[in-house]
Structure 1
Amino acid sequence: MAKVLVLYHSTYGHIEAMAEAVAEGARSAGATVDIRRVPETVPEELARKSGYKLDQKAPLAKVEDLPGYDAIIVGAGTRFGRMPSQMAAFWDRAGGLWATGALNGKVGGAFASTATQHGGNEMTLMSIIHNLMHFGLTIVGLDYGYQGQMGVDEIRGGAPYGATTVTDGDGSRMPSKAELDGARYQGRRIAEVAGKLAVRTPEYAG
């Protein structure tokens, strides 16, 4: 049975909702799943004034816990077409894991959000994926087995690189059923692949 980490940063709650759906999908494949969020780097006073969702229940992640997982699924909103600084800062602290190859062979994936359909969803996914590949993770995206990413009858997130949602400029649009279903599908696929590969060296076994 695979052990999966859903690691996210969510400013207004959209990615938090997607993380829950990713976790549901992974659990449906029999995986043990932890949901963790990276530390917020924006000062609390400014975050409150800006309307950040500060009551998120997921515990804070620790870099030293990463090797204990078979799969790490990373989610974040876009920041000018790339992952936000909060998520980048967390991975920048993981240099020791990179140096020792502690994450080599584990399974990874990405999910994201943007304000508009063309606001950088795919670029943000790829910025996360590029980072994970440097740490040696094998990437699983949102394959076209999930047909809910197809069609133009409604606003739809989703790309072959990972599940996404579109929030609107004021953040008023929460993830749709199709977008949450895509997140569940990707979570399940990643857990399935991780269960088959399950590369965990003895010195880093959790």
Structure 2
Amino acid sequence: MTTKVLVLYYSSYGHIKTMAEAVAEGAAAAGATVDIKRVPETAPAEVVAAAGFVTDHSHPEAQPADLAEYDAIIVGTPTRYGNPASQMASFWDRTGGLWAQGKLIGKVGGAFTSSATQHGGNEATLLSMHKTLLHHGLVIVGLPYAFAGQMTLDAIAGGSPYGATTIAAGDGSRQPSEVELDGARFQGRHIAEIAGKLSA
């Protein structure tokens, strides 16, 4: 049977959306069937407009019940003071019914993120997201050092053994680099391969 992977993300300015598409590319390269879905925007419309959030969405909104349909769930969220964005947290706050029924136990999970600066809480956000996935019984998979790109010292680059990351700059002007996108692809492929082995 084909492994089914969900890439679930929230993106205010498009950086995490770009990373999500790279994660999905990697998972598809491993032979998985991949869906990309976004969590609902919870900020008021006037805040979205004033802040210039991306509103042209090319991926459908997810519903909590969707999660049970997949073998692996890879979650992408911006960093907010070392925590997932409130939009992502709000989505997972609605998954109590899945938790009560143990619907996600044994699935494979992972996370990826972005922050404005190199030391802006990327790893704390990934670990915080891992806690939520662990409460649901998912098997956590990160970005191993087999992806050597995260060890580069030649340029500013995201990447962490806890998951793929990118750095957006304070004004959002920096887009994910090729090294960071390669890390996202690697993690997507790695998670899909492990999910395939566990569900075989």
Report the residue type matching 1:184 in the other structure.
R
Map of 2:84 onto structure 1: 83
- Offset of residue 191 of structure 1: 0.2
1:187 to 2:179 alignment: no
Partner SS for 2:174? coil
How many residue pairs match? The answer is 199
What does 1:91-170 correspond to in 2, within 5 Å? 91-170=92-171
Residue number in structure 1 paired with 2:67: 66
Structure 2: gaps (5+ residues): none
Shift of 1:198: 1.7
How big is the shift at 1:133? 0.5
- 1:32 is matched with which residue? 33
Q: Distance in 1 between matches of 2:199 and 2:69?
A: 11
For 1:108 and 1:131, the matched residues in 2 are separated by 10
**Identity value in percent:** 65
Could you tell me which residue of structure 2 aligns to residue 41 of structure 1? Answer: 42
Q: Tell which deviates more after alignment, 45-54 or 157-166.
A: 45-54
SS at 2:8's partner residue? strand
Alpha-carbon distance between aligned partners in 1 of 2:112 and 2:30, rounded to the nearest angstrom: 18
Offset of residue 90 of structure 1 = 0.4
What SS class does the counterpart of residue 102 from structure 1 fall into?
A: coil
One-letter amino acid of the counterpart of residue 88, structure 1: A
Q: Residue in 2 aligned with 1:5? A: 6
- The amino acid of 2:5's aligned partner reads V
Structure-2 residue corresponding to 1:172? 173
Deviation at 1:45, TM superposition (A): 2.0
Q: RMSD of the alignment, in Å?
A: 0.8
> SS of the counterpart of 2:166?
strand
What is the TM-score of this pair, normalised by structure 1? 0.95
Q: Which TM-score applies when normalising by structure 2?
A: 0.98
C-alpha separation between the residues in 2 aligned to 1:28 and 1:44? 37
Q: CA deviation at 1:151?
A: 2.0
Amino acid of the structure 2 residue aligned with 1:118:
H
Could you say which residue in structure 2 is the equivalent of 1:55? 56
CA–CA separation in structure 2 for the residues paired with 1:30 and 1:85: 33
Q: Deviations over 1:41-75 (max 9, x none)?
A: 00122201111011121100011111110000000
Aligned counterparts of 2:199 and 2:130: Cα–Cα separation in 1: 19
Amino acid at match of 1:136: G
**In 2, distance between residues paired with 1:132 and 1:102?**
12
